[in-house]
Structure 1
């Protein structure tokens, strides 16, 4: 499977989040503790918005492992962003190629995913035929994740992200049943429009991959008043991660099963999630 993180808050050098934590995403690319595979070396990607323009995110994606990529190391020391996604890939069977690396982008939207559609090769045609023809030509790769993204776009991601993802999950499960797949969908995914981040944890089996969110910064300051990093970031700074970046007491909370969270200016929130039957 894969590992990913989403950061939203005080503009921060990518290096601060990607490399410096004790169990950073770069460390996880070699030493994942909670993933299906220990090593995630089948490509990586980083997508970020700039402070003065969040209309279209920039992307850096490559097929090599993240732990020794000099271009990633270079930009991480120089790019500062208030909202970015980062993803390290372990392929579930599709080709190791740049167009299959996350995050995926369409207009101002970014999407990344850990998990998979079981039996995707059986239902790929059925699912692709449900993508809006106006969007279909923009699909570049061969992954189930990208098809999930374009299905969500088809079902109204622009208007109501949770409803669009619920409809996407519903058609994947319907297609799975039609092809005799018992547990078609496994997903922890994140999507953003550059201002808000939605993160989902769901699987047909009810045994989803790990997902965590960081505690409120004001609460962490009270627990750890001597930590300089906590004095430098705003109260609204938040991380959502496949697995914790360190062992700081009180810093990490597991996203409950069948739940999605919204990170936004103001109060963040958690909500129940269920597919909309197709």
Structure 2
């Protein structure tokens, strides 16, 4: 399992969102409060953020625990952004151990993360992998279930799917083949799409202060709302929309 978070709002230092809150993603790497599977997320971390006048986000990823990287402390103190996606990782068995398997994954202006696991991977979803063009299979960044999910989502995005549709169809296809936990998180810097499928997901919209979508609340302040399981969420700086996900046809 993992914990992840996406934010859209006024420009703030990375530290304001990821480190300073009392139950921040930084703390969730060793003391998550609502994680249903696994106990710590110390197998790596990553953050992707958008800069003004550049639609392609930057990414910083490491295979070490977030608390063990002194460079991140400096980065989080000085880098400001109005849009980010970040994650702390608990490795799935059989996955690549280096930072190539650490979210966020990225292509163009998209950032992606997966909180969950695909049992029986890769055999359980081999049929879906076979549907990808050969060049896209060869371009998969790492050997892990999350990287394959990203390839499936990315294929749909490049085919013209909207963010939410790309996540929803991927979840339905995978869930029809295995009892997976599929909390997916995707952003293009102006919209956040997320799925709740097997683990916790929360959101908070504060007018004038932005929107946050996260595996769990990073503080105990009011405004956090839990997303029902098997739900697709779409969020912008101005509003949030949720839709039940279709049950897979087995």
TM-score normalized with structure 2 length: 0.92
Which 4+ stretches in 1 moved above 4 angstroms? 275-278
CA distance in 2, matches of 1:122, 1:133: 17
Residues 198 and 261, structure 1, Cα contact 8 Å, conserved in 2: yes
Is 1:257–2:229 an aligned residue pair?
yes
2:193 to 166, 190, 198: 198
Superposed displacement of residue 92, structure 1: 1.6
1:32 aligns with 2:29: no
Trace 1:266-277 onto structure 2 (pairs within 5 A): 266-274=238-246, 277=249
For the 8 Å contact 1:45–1:87, the answer to whether it is kept is: yes
Residue number in structure 2 paired with 1:88? 88
For residues 17 and 156 of structure 1, the distance between their equivalents in structure 2, rounded to whole angstroms, comes to 28
User: The residue matched to 1:210 in structure 2 has which SS?
Assistant: coil
| 1:164 paired residue number | 166
Q: Does the C-alpha gap of structure 1 residues 66 and 175 become closer, same or farther in structure 2, counting only changes over 3 Å?
A: same
**Helix, strand or coil: the match of 1:41?**
coil
1:139 equivalent in structure 2:
140
Q: Which residue of 1 aligns with 2:68?
A: 68
Q: Is the 8 A contact 2:191 2:234 kept in 1?
A: yes
Contact 1:102 1:112 (C-alpha < 8 Å) held by counterparts: yes
Q: Answer yes or no: is 1:239 the counterpart of 2:212.
A: yes
Instruction: Report how many residues are paired.
Output: 247
Which residue does the alignment assign to 1:227? none
Which has more radius of gyration? Answer: 1
**2:102 matches 1:126:** no
Match of 1:103 in 2: 104
1:179 equivalent in structure 2: none
| Structure 1 unaligned regions, length at least 5 | 177-182, 203-207, 219-233
2:201–2:215 Cα contact (<8 Å) kept: yes
**What does 1:171-186 correspond to in 2, within 5 Å?**
171-176=173-178, 183=179, 185-186=180-181
- The answer to whether the 8 Å contact 2:57/2:109 transfers is yes
TM-score, normalised relative to structure 1: 0.83
Uncovered stretches (5+) of structure 2, i.e. residues with no partner? none
Instruction: Output one character per residue of 1:107-154: Cα deviation in whole Å (capped at 9) or x when no partner.
Output: 111100100111113235433222233422321101111111111222
| CA distance, structure 2, for counterparts of residue 111 and residue 186 of structure 1 | 16
Task: Note the C-alpha offset of 1:275.
Answer: 5.5
